[in-house]
Amino acid sequence: MISINQKKFVNSLKQKKFRTERNLFVVEGIKLVEELLQSDYEISAIYATSIWIERNSELECFEVSEKELQSISSLKTANEVLAVVKQKEFQLIDVSSQLNIALDKLQDPGNLGTIIRTADWFGVQNIICSEDSVDVYNPKVLQATMGSFFRVNIVYLSLSEFFSNNKGLTVYGALLDGENVYQKELKSKDSVLLMGNESKGISEELKPFIKEKISIPNYGKAESLNVATATAILCSEFVRR
């Protein structure tokens, strides 16, 4: 059985404050835990049903009932296993030799998770988030990544400082008044794709760092594209050139 203190501890990690204080986060569900086990993350504890433990008998686990697992889960229906994992310091890899993604004040967990999954699909290794973007360890973000979280570097820092310290990079800003991306020559190396906030777009203080303004042309009547969808379309254009 899981103790009351264990329940309180695991449930506290649903809040960013306690995830940060304890340097831990939660991964749950068969798919994500399988990805976790193939990564270099350090696992603090695993809570699992007898069915999952039977298939993974080599691992040390706390056996719990389905009801107990549900009591510590962030999912509507708990899925056999939940792991408490130690956070680690992400390191940017070779920013000057590839396309990177920068996210300015992104707020929606689903959008961040989808963008991480998109980056993994297109081979983008680095995502640089502004310090006020949604927390990557948010359970909704992790679920939306479908495991891609374990293969992409996500760092949080001042974007203005990052751009100031990396002036050799070509910063492409996704803006409504940008050039048609389908008619523009794009650099797939030494570059950053900057995506803005869901409702306000790219911050005014970051616009001076943009060297190339790009946009996705509108053929219908929608006012805008979802930022995660737009990121996927733009990444596709970068990699196919």
Per CATH, the number for 95-240 is 3.40.1280.10
The pLDDT, as a whole number, for residue 85 is 98
Amino acid occupying residue 195: M
**Residue 99 pLDDT more than 90?**
yes
- Alpha-carbon Rg for the chain, nearest whole angstrom, is 20
Q: Is 43 exposed, middle or buried (0-12, 13-18, 19+ CB in 10 A)?
A: middle
Q: Which amino acid is at 123?
A: G
Question: Residue 64 pLDDT > 80, yes or no?
Answer: yes
Residue of 144, 77, 86 whose CA lies nearest to 110: 144
**Cα 28 from Cα 48, distance rounded (Å):** 10
Whole-model pTM: value is 0.94
For residue 109, is pLDDT > 90?
yes
Size of the chain in residues = 241
Residues spanned by CATH 3.40.1280.10 within the chain?
Answer: 95-240
Architecture of the domain spanning 4-86? 2-Layer Sandwich (3.30)
| Mean predicted confidence (pLDDT) in 173-183 | 95
Say if residue 224's pLDDT is above 90: no
How close are the terminal C-alpha atoms of the chain, in Å?
56
Please, where in the chain does CATH 3.30.1330.30 lie? 4-86
pLDDT of residue 112: 98
Q: In the predicted model, is pLDDT for residue 62 greater than 90?
A: yes
Asked if pLDDT for residue 167 goes beyond 70, the answer is yes
Task: Note whether 83 and 43 are within 8 A (CB).
Answer: yes
Within the chain, strands assigned E span 24-28, 43-48, 62-63, 81-86, 99-103, 126-129, 153-156, 170-180, 191-195, 212-215
